[in-house]
Amino acid sequence: MIGAYITHKWNGKTGSAYGVVEGRIVSSGIKYINIGNDNTHKDKPILKHVHKTYRFDWLVTRGEKSKNFIKIWN
């Protein structure tokens, strides 16, 4: 499953009422690839789960280029 600039479900501190419960995706064992930016997505609850982070010069998002990422949870 791939998501780009996904907002997580409101957790009482951050997120959106219309956000995605990404923890369910990660816990299900499905490979989840998320594209985003460290500034915008620093509060994602799923960051506590083991994942790999990749950065590429060609990855363009609305955020600061050096902080763009692709994170993968297996």
Residue 63 is predicted with a pLDDT of: 87
- What pLDDT digit, counting tens, does each position of 29-72 carry? 999 999 999 999 999 999 999 999 999 999 998 889 999 999 99
Cα 27 to Cα 31, 55, 56, 65, 71: the distances in Å are 10, 24, 27, 30, 15
CA distances from 17 to 9, 10, 33, 34, 58 (A): 6, 5, 22, 19, 32
Instruction: State pTM to two decimals.
Output: 0.90
